[in-house]
Chains A and B, each alone.
Chain A
Amino acid sequence: MIIVNNLSISFGKKKVLNNLHFHVQQGEIFGFLGPSGAGKTTTIKILTNQLIPTKGSIQVNASTSQIGILSDNSGVYERLTVWRNLQFFAELHNSQENVEQILKKVKLWDDKDKKVKDLSKGMHQRLLLACAIVHKPKLLFLDEPTASLDPATVEAIHDLLLELKNEGTTIFLTTHNMEEASKLCDHIAFLNKGKIVELATILELKLKYALNKVRITFNDNTTLEVAKDKKELIKALQKTNASIISIHSLEPTLADIFLQLTGRNLK
């Protein structure tokens, strides 16, 4: 759906994106992870023709009318109601999609007659998402869609994104929330200072950066972290008389992997 080769962009002397290569498959959720200022939004702006790259090529296999975008630059008409806003975006796309159905999907049906200026931040974000999907886009760009939202709203948005993915929508998601990326994404690219430092599936990442350790929990409430080695394990167990409650292999989180790769946190 998206093919990016050699993509670079500079603002003045500052190189914001440096030689990015990635492919996004049709029907997948592609996570673009990185801390603030890493170049995530700039990448979306290039992919949606809001910025022209300094170098490289991009191929987006969807026409403008088949793309939906939700970013922190998205806006709706504050003096009008939720219903009227969504109806307007449906009219703009000549969309046959049912406005009522979409409002129910984003859980805004009960608030359809509220003016946008009276909505909470979470409701506002859900309306923006509804406007972005009202024309059933083939490709959806989401720039930090759940940033600073309450857990219930985040959960609702995640469910909706998975539903859209199951319906065949390709989603390009930027986030610095590792849990979100773990839950939703098929492929993940780590972006740091304008460069992709890793690109893989969640499973590939976890295997590649496995800590090679197990955590043993004993019935006296003590825990022990031991290397995944038979001899080491036996040696450790011989040192205690307590009974084993559980043995779990230790898996790195995406934040651990990012930290390992870049030496900085994903915030």
Chain B
Amino acid sequence: MRFYKIKALLKLGLQDLLKNANVLIYIILPIGFAFLYSSMDTMPKDFCFALCVLLSLAMVPVALMGTVIAEEKEKNTLRTLMLNDVKASEILIAKALICLIFVVINNILIYYICGLSLTNFLTYQLIGLFTGLAIIFFGAVVGLLAKNQMSAGLLSMPFMLLLMAPLFISMLESKVLTKLSSLLPTDAMMSLFTAISATKYTFKSVGIPIIVIASWFIISYILFNIVYKKVGLDN
């Protein structure tokens, strides 16, 4: 792994992304929702934050990551990079770093917009980043499978729905679905936010959600490896 290559890819990727309206929407939308929800008097600040971070995590590490990889394929820049002595791992790391940078920026902005006190700022950010890391490989899988930006959008849908499922399930009041939802990384993240907000640090409220998120990191990494071995980066 050569850091000067990752640095060059990271710099260019950030510049290119900021000029790409198609993918900026994935970053801007959760911020827009944060503004919207924070203006509602009935919405608790913690819930507003958790909701928007969840939306951001469904969009940035999955849809954004998948789309930026797919665009490189569509525009032939991925092939050009690989023919310029850049390894697939270097490209993927640079793309993942770009997405994680936006996960952090979004989480900070959402935290600020939702008006939460600074007490739990760092803990909330670390939880958001930890969850983002756990699901970034899903975005990479989307990128590996998609041939163009449009198919990346379609392929990210099931992942996005899965990650946003805790939102809908909480409205259904179904015990089975709630139990299943607790196995999702985004649900675990929301549980962690709740536990920290209520200063309730038990194994059930903190330990299990951390195990769930860590398990998803392993699951998504395994899935990524299977897909990568099957189709490669530039299929």
A-B contact pairs, 27 of them (CB 8 A): A48-B83, A65-B85, A67-B85, A73-B76, A73-B80, A75-B76, A75-B77, A75-B78, A75-B79, A75-B80, A76-B80, A77-B12, A77-B77, A78-B75, A79-B19, A79-B20, A84-B15, A88-B8, A88-B12, A91-B4, A91-B11, A92-B9, A92-B81, A92-B84, A92-B86, A94-B4, A131-B80
Q: In this complex, what residue of A is CB-closest to B86?
A: A92
What is the chain B residue whose CB lies nearest that of A74?
A: B80
How many angstroms between the C-alpha atoms of A63 and B81 in the bound complex?
15
The residue from B8, B16, B85 contacting A77, defined by CB atoms under 8 A apart = B16
B5 at the interface (CB under 8 A from A): yes
List of B residues within 8 angstroms of A94 by Cβ: 4
Rounded to whole angstroms, the CA-CA distance of A94 and B5 in the bound complex is: 8
Complex interface bits, A35-78 against B, C-beta within 8 A gives 1, otherwise 0: 00000000000001010000000000001110101000111111
Q: Are B8 and A80 in contact (CB under 8 A)?
A: no
Closest beta carbon of chain B to A71's beta carbon, Å: 8
Number of chain B residues whose Cβ lies closer than 8 Å to a Cβ of chain A: 22
In the bound assembly, the distance between CA atoms of A221 and B76 in angstroms comes to 55
- Which residues on B are within 8 Å of A, measured CB to CB? 4-5, 7-9, 11-12, 15-16, 19-20, 75-81, 83-86
B8 CB to closest chain A CB (Å) equals 4
Interface majority SS (helix, strand, loop, mixed), chain B = helix
Chain B residues near A67 (CB, 8 Å)? 83, 85
Encode contact with B along A124-149: 1 for CB under 8 Å, 0 otherwise.
00000001000000000000000000
Report chain A residues within 8 Å CB of B78: 75
Q: Which of A50, A76, A91 contacts B77 (CB 8 A)?
A: A76
| Extra inter-chain contacts (20) besides given A88-B8, A91-B8, CB under 8 Å | A50-B79, A50-B83, A64-B85, A65-B85, A67-B85, A73-B79, A74-B76, A75-B77, A75-B78, A75-B79, A76-B80, A77-B16, A77-B77, A79-B16, A84-B12, A88-B11, A91-B4, A92-B8, A93-B84, A93-B85
Q: A75-B79, A75-B80, A88-B12 are in contact. Are A80 and B19 (CB under 8 A)?
A: yes
Cβ contacts under 8 Å, A80 to chain B: 12, 15-16, 19
Expressed in whole angstroms, the Cα–Cα distance for A91 and B4 within the complex equals: 8
CA distance A89 to B85 in the complex (A): 11
Residues of A within 8 A of B79 (CB): 50, 73-75
Q: Contact check: which of B4, B11, B75 meets A75 at CB < 8 Å?
A: B75
Query: Interface residues of A toward B: which range?
Result: 20 to 34
When distances are taken between beta carbons in the complex, the residues of chain A under 8 Å from B85 are 63-65, 67, 92-93
Residues of B within 8 A of A63 (CB): 85
Q: Which B residues lie within 8 Å of A89 (CB)?
A: 84
Complex Cα gap A48–B78 (Å): 15
Which residues from chain B contact A93 at a C-beta distance below 8 Å? 84-85
Chain A residue nearest to B74 (CB atoms) is A75
Closest to A65 in B: B85
Q: Which residue of B lies closest to A89 (CB)?
A: B84
User: How many angstroms between the C-alpha atoms of A73 and B76 in the bound complex?
Assistant: 6
CA A75 to CA B77, docked complex, whole Å: 4
CB distance from A238 to the nearest CB of B (A): 64
Q: How far is the CA of A69 from the CA of B106 in the complex (A)?
A: 39
Q: What is the CA–CA distance of A63 and B15 in the complex, to the nearest angstrom?
A: 30
Nearest B-chain residue to A49, judged by Cβ: B83
